């Protein structure tokens, strides 16, 4: 076993036992570092030979060559950035443990993220989703409660799937969620979502003999009474979108974007939205500003007399320059 392979095993144990990382982050980091190990084995076989000092042979040029191979394979910039973060975290751990003397990934720059406006639903589209006719049985009430809660709170898919009954304060209209890094935050929830969740819990209480109020039982469960996985929740949303007649792909993250965008357009403070979404950095929340500005420009173009006049003049100029 090479020293790199041993280091990866130690790092895996470190992430599981000492770092407060989500299971998904731990899994992705291990995939990224293992891919780097495979790249070294293929392109620099001497750097991973089974000698104690093989780790010291890894330098920043090898890491850059690895990233270059990913560019040639047309990997997304966000994926490459994550791999840079994984390698920096890995070598920082080795540095603290005294296994290496420098972090070869420290000077490696991640590619700049591509700027994009998040997809979101219009108010009419969201209402179409919320006003669907459902069967008033346990499954139907559960599915509607999921949609209502997503839109009312803006929580992540993993946060919704991880909710326990005791996390909901019906009297105060609040829910406690565990976000990235298992950081807890409390967010408000509107009455329609609370009514939908309560109706669902009342319907399933007799079936599963659960008493809610301080309970650690999951909020959203399958027919067998087991906690819904994130994948199952996403499939439920796919089915509901198909039933609603909305001819587009809508993920749980689109509902999170919809919540933030509608809050922004209604005049909510950017920092308040940051707190509600559980963003570490305000810059992450600021991407919704461009959505709101785009909406404002659309309203301006439709409503302002001068804007209308300018557009009509531009149209006449275009007609005048067209060949006869």
Annotated catalytic residue, options 156, 178, 204, 257: 156
Residue 156 designated active-site: yes
Residue 116 designated active-site: no
Residue 179: both structure tokens together: 């976000």
Please list the residues that pair with 187 across neighbouring strands: 175
* CA 324 – CA 313 distance, rounded (Å): 19
Residue 256 designated active-site: yes
Annotated catalytic residue, options 14, 83, 142, 279: 279
- Torsion angle of C-alpha atoms 51, 57, 58, 60, degrees rounded to 10: 180
* Cα angle value 157/160/165 (rounded, 5°): 170
Reference 240, options 159, 118, 121, 158; nearest CA is: 121
Annotated catalytic residue, options 12, 26, 77, 180: 180
Please list the residues that pair with 39 across neighbouring strands: none
- Burial group, residue 118, by CB count within 10 angstroms (0-12, 13-18, 19+): middle
Q: At a CB cut-off of 8 Å and minimum separation 6, what does 34 contact?
A: 8
User: Which residue in the block uniquely carries the two structure tokens 């305000």?
Assistant: 282
Residue 200 designated active-site: no
**Active-site annotation, residues:** 156, 180, 253, 256, 279, 288
């Amino acid at each position: 076993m090479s020293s790199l392979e041993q280091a990866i095993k130690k790092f895996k144990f470190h992430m599981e036992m000492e770092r407060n990382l989500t299971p998904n982050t731990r899994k992705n980091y291990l995939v990224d570092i293992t891919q780097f190990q495979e790249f070294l084995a293929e392109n620099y076989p001497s750097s991973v030979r089974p000698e104690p000092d093989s780790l010291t042979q890894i330098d920043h040029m090898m890491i850059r060559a690895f990233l270059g191979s990913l560019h040639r394979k047309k990997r997304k910039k966000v994926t490459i950035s994550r791999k840079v973060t994984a390698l920096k975290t890995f070598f920082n751990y080795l540095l603290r443990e005294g296994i290496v003397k420098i972090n070869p990934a420290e000077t490696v720059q991640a590619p700049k993220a591509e700027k994009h406006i998040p997809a979101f639903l219009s108010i009419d589209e969201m209402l179409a989703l919320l006003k669907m006719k459902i069967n008033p049985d346990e499954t139907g009430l559960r599915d509607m409660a999921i949609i209502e809660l997503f839109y009312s709170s803006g929580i992540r898919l993993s946060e919704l799937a991880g909710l326990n009954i005791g996390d909901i304060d019906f009297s105060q209209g609040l829910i406690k969620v565990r976000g990235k890094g298992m950081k807890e935050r409390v967010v408000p929830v509107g009455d329609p979502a609370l009514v939908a969740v309560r109706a669902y819990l009342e319907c399933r209480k007799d079936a599963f003999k659960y008493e809610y109020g301080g309970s650690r039982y999951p909020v959203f469960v399958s027919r067998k009474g087991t906690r819904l996985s994130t994948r199952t929740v996403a499939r439920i949303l796919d089915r509901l979108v198909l039933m609603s007649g909305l001819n587009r792909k809508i993920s749980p993250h689109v509902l999170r974007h919809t919540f933030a965008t509608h809050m922004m357009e209604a005049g909510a403070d950017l920092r308040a939205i940051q707190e509600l979404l559980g963003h570490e950095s305000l810059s992450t929340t600021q991407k919704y500003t461009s959505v709101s500005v785009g909406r404002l420009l659309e309203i301006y173009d439709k409503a302002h007399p001068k804007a209308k006049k300018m557009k009509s003049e531009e149209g006449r100029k275009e007609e005048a320059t067209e060949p006869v």
